[in-house]
Amino acid sequence: MLEIVGVVKDVKQFTVDGAATADLYVPIAQVPPSQAAALTARMYWVMRTDFDPRLLIPEIRRAVHAVDADVAASSMRPLDDVLSASLGGRRATVRLLEIFGQVAMLLAAVGVYAVAAFSAGMRRRELAIRSAFGASRRDLVRLVLTAECPAVYAGIAAGLTSALVVARSLGGVLFSVGPSDPATYVAVGSALAVLTFVATWLPARRASRADPAELLRA
């Protein structure tokens, strides 16, 4: 007959991102002799310290051997190392996806720059005429930006909306972040908006600096 003396919170025995397991805690003194060997072979001790835990490893090993020299005390790791080992594979995958995302953002910026440069080049004569009638360089840059940026910003909004819908189906593979995390969408949207502005502003600025007299004579 077993007596329950307390209930504890769910724990994750194997991986941090895995599901919680059903566990039963039994005092060692009450473990049947036939199961004692298997239990002691999987025993873990957790110790808390206010400074570097690696400095305590020799002291802990000597203390264990002083009580029982037959108890192995060779595998000692700080909790940070255990956590890193548990998340090592997931972090490698996330890092790879992060690299792909950065490359995709770079390609998007290059594409926006190429389209904006082509559009600004096609409108150089128009910009020269506007400049001859008194338009400032700031006005010309604003004109190009207002013509190119809205379409790209609309594409960013559509992409974020689609990502929000698709991400709901990926909730099972996410860890420590939800499929609708606002900070992630704000950060990605802001980064794309800034890249779009810079990629459009550079060719617009270059086109606004062209000499109107030379363009009108061409």
What tens digit of pLDDT does each residue of 135-176 get? 788 888 888 888 888 888 888 889 888 888 887 776 666 666
Q: Please report which confidence band the pLDDT of residue 199 belongs to, taking 50, 70 and 90 as the band edges.
A: confident
What is the pLDDT at residue 11?
Answer: 81
- The CA-atom distances, in angstroms, between 176 and each of 12, 18, 57, 141 are 15, 12, 31, 43
What is the pLDDT at residue 176?
Answer: 64
Average of per-residue pLDDT values in the chain: 80
Residue 213 has pLDDT above 70, yes or no: no
Q: Which residue has the higher pLDDT, 167 or 210?
A: 167
pLDDT tens digits for 12-64?
777 776 777 888 887 877 877 787 777 766 777 788 888 888 888 888 888 88
Q: Which residue has the higher pLDDT, 176 or 98?
A: 98
Query: Among 201, 194, 198, which residue's Cα sits nearest to residue 143?
Result: 201
**Residues in a beta bridge with 11:** 21
What is the pLDDT at residue 173?
Answer: 62
What is the pLDDT at residue 42?
Answer: 72
Residue 200 CA to chain centroid, in angstroms? 27
Residue 84 has pLDDT above 60, yes or no: yes
Answering whether pTM is above 0.75, one says no
Residue 218 has pLDDT above 60, yes or no: no
The DSSP annotation for 87-128 comes to HHHHHHHHHHHHHHHHHHHHHHHHHHHHHHHHHHHHTHHHHH
What average pLDDT does the segment 124-135 reach? 78
